[in-house]
Amino acid sequence: MKNNRWSIVQRRGGKLVRSFAPSEHDTPPWRAGSGDAGATVARVLFVCVENSNRSQMAEAFARVRGAGVLDAQSAGSSPSGTVSPRAIEAMAELGCDLSSHTSKGLSEVGSGPFDYVITMGCGDACPSVKAACREDWTLPDPRSMSDEEFRAVRDEIARRVDELVERVRSSRSQSC
């Protein structure tokens, strides 16, 4: 869809920063909506280092809980090549099947633009990925945690994905 040129300005560290100035052929993030016919979904990329645990779980939750609202992908800055068996097991407990997911690198998901790029607390800035909105969820790496702690991280990811879905669903303006 062709529209007028637009850009996003967001506050970072007390300063207003232009974070994205797409071409006139791009659809702005505030077109993301409730999944109604004709509504555009928000493109979301969840990024972690290995794309093995947190970002994989976030992608799965976003695909299931954000169907019609979010178009979710995940990637790693240094992918491990496999999805963690613990992540597969933890998500299976909630009825989400990660067994067919693969660990992928940033180059495998394209350069964007994305409406949201969400890092999972691993310090990845992802400067090569164009995004209107960037968030860092600052989640601990559950790789070496007990099963109970691993589930707590999983559940926190689910809560934050639910918040993102509601934010996108209810907002028609830039909401970073």
- Cα torsion 164, 162, 138, 91 to 10°: value is -140
CA distance 7 to 9: 7
Question: Nearest CA to 30 among 164, 176, 173, 175?
Answer: 173
Annotated catalytic residue within 48, 96, 133, 176: 48
Annotated catalytic residue within 96, 126, 133, 176: 126
Is-catalytic flag, 96? no
Is-catalytic flag, 176? no
Q: Pull the structure tokens for residue 112.
A: 């964007």
The H or E element that residue 86 is part of is helix 85-92
Which of the residues are catalytic? 48, 122, 126
